[in-house]
A and B are shown apart, each in its own frame.
Chain A
Amino acid sequence: MNKGNHKNVSTIDEYEIRLTGLYEEYYDKIARYVYVHIGDREEAEDIAGEVFLKALKSLKSYREQGVPMQGWLFRIAHNLTVDYLRKMDKRRSAPIDSVVLLGNDDPVDTAEKNIEFERVTEAMKQLTTEQREVITLRFFGGFTSKEVGGILGKGDGAVREMQRAAIEKLRGTMGVQK
C-alpha cells in the first residue's frame, strides 16, 4: 500500500464532485480534441466518454500541482488517443489520411467540406507534435497559454512563441494548398 498516495475521503469526494461538474462542458471539448488527432468523430466521442471513466478510476492519483483538473483530463485524453493511434498503426491504417466526411447534405457541399478537411488536416500534419498539442489545447480545449504551459510543463512565453510559429506554419501550408 502506498502511503504517499493516500487522500482522505473528503478530498476524493470533492474531486468526484468537481469531475462530475466538468462533464457537460468538457465532454464536447475533449471529443473535438481527440477528433483533431484521430479524424474519426464516433471514435472521438467514445474516447471522450472513456476519459471520464478513466479519470474517475484514477482520482486517487490526481494531484493538483498547478494543473487544473480539466488539464489532467486532457492528459488522459492524450494517452488514450496515443493508445488508439498505436492500435490503428498496428492495423496498418492511417486514420488521419483516410478520413472522408460523410453527410446527408448536398454532395457538392460535402465534397467541398472534404477538400477543406484534407487541406487543414494536411497542414496540421506539418506541425511538430508539440506545436499540434499547443494548437489543439488552445483552439479546442479553451485553455489559456499559461494553462497550456502548466499542462505541457513549459513557460507561457514558450507556449506563445510555439503557438505563433505553429499558426504561421499552418497559414503557409494552407495558403500553398489553396
Chain B
Amino acid sequence: MMAEDFDRILDECIDRINSGDSLADCLSDYPAYSEKLKPLLQSMSDVQKTYTFTPSADTKRAARQKFHAALGKRQQMTPVLSFFKVIPRSAVWATVAVLVLAVVGTLVIQSVLNAPELVPSPDGNFAFLISDEPSDINDFENFDVTILRVELQAAGSKERLEFVPEVETVDLTRLQGDEFQEIWRGHVPAGQYSHIHIYIGEVKGKLGLTGQTIYVKVPGDVVHMPIPFEITVDMVTIYTFDITVVEAGNSGTYILKLRLNESGAWQEQKLL
C-alpha cells in the first residue's frame, strides 16, 4: 500500500466523519485498510469528544451584542459619503477641486516630512506592545498615554518606516506588572533596525485621592529607543515599550519614565 494512498483514504474518512458519517461506514468502504484506519479514526474521535463543548448561550449572546454594536458604530460613519448628493453639481466640482488640491498638497508635504506608513494586519510579522511597572501609578485612578505614531529606523540608515497605532490611547493603570497592551501588529520589511521613535501625544492621569487631573509633559514629545532588533519574514518580532510613572520626590509632579531594561524585542514562531 502506498503511503500517499493511505493518507488520502484517512483524509477522506476524516472529512466524512466531520460531515456526520459514521466511522463504521467509512471502514466498510475500505475493508483492506480498516485494520490500520480504525485505531487512528478512534483516536480522532477521542480527541474530538474531549474538547467538544457547547459555548454558554449567555456568553455567546453577549459577544454577539458586542459584535453588532461595533458593526453598527462602523456603519454610522457611512452617511458622510452621501454628503455630495445634497449639494449642487457645480459646488460638488468646486469642492472636489479644492479637496484634490488639498490632498495633493498634503501628500507632497507628507512625503517630505513623514516616513512611509505601514499597514496593520492581524497576521503581521511585527507587534508593538505597551507595558507598565507597579509604581506611583497606584496614585492614579486612570493614566492615559496617547501614542500618535511610531517610527522604525533601519540600522546604518536614516530611513524610517512609520505606523499609526490601532489602539492610540492606553491606560497605564491597567497595564501593571505582566500586563501589556498590543497597540499595533502588521507587516514590516525584514531587516536590522537600530531605533524606535515613539511620538507621544497627550499624557494625563486622574489622581485617585483628589480626583485632580494631572498632565505630564514628555520632552520633545518623542521617546527615542536605542535598542537594536531584527525583523524576519518567518518569525513575529514582538517589541515592548515599557514605561512607568514616578513622582519627582514628594513634589506632586509626575514624570514618565522609560524602563530600558524591560523594553526591547524578542521573536516568536510565526505559524500561520
Residues in B with CB closer than 8 Å to A130 are: 271
A13 vs chain B, min Cβ distance (A) = 8
* Nearest CB of A to B27, in Å: 15
Residue of B nearest to A49 (CB): B63
Given contacts A9-B78, A52-B63, contact A174 B43 (CB under 8 A): yes
What sequence of 0s and 1s flags, for each residue 52-69 of chain A, a beta carbon within 8 Å of any chain B beta carbon?
Answer: 111111100100000000
Judged by DSSP, the binding face of A is helix
The smallest beta-carbon distance between A61 and chain B, in angstroms, is 4
Encode A98-141 as 1/0 by CB contact (under 8 A) with B.
00000000000000000011001101100001100101001110
Stretch at the interface among B44-52, B191-199, B205-213, B250-258: B44-52
Given known A45-B60, A152-B272, contact A120–B67 (CB-CB < 8 A) = no
Q: What sequence of 0s and 1s flags, for each residue 158-194 of chain B, a beta carbon within 8 Å of any chain A beta carbon?
A: 0000000010000000000011101001100000000
Flag if B268 contacts A135 (CB, 8 Å): no
Q: Which residue of B has the minimal Cβ distance to A1?
A: B117
Bound-complex Cα distance A28 to B52 (A): 9
Chain A residues within 8 Å of B50, by CB: 116-117, 120-121
A61 touches B51 (CB 8 A): no
Decide: A56 and B70 in contact? CB cutoff 8 A.
yes
Which bucket holds chain B's interface residue count? Answer: 35 or more
**Residues of chain B lying within 8 A (CB to CB) of residue A129:** 269, 271
Q: Which residues of A contact B66 (CB under 8 A)?
A: 49, 53
B48 contact set on A, CB distance < 8 A = 139-140
CA distance A83 to B131 in the complex (A): 14
Q: Judge whether B32 is part of the interface by a CB distance below 8 angstroms.
A: no
**CB <8 Å contact, A58 and B59:** no
| Closest-CB distance, B22 to chain A (whole angstroms) | 16
State in angstroms the CA–CA spacing of A46 and B53 once bound together. 14
Do B63 and A48 touch (CB < 8 A)? yes
Evaluate contact between B119 and A5: CB separation under 8 angstroms.
yes
Please report which residues of chain B, range 113-129, place their CB below 8 angstroms from some CB of chain A when the two chains form the complex. Answer: 117-123
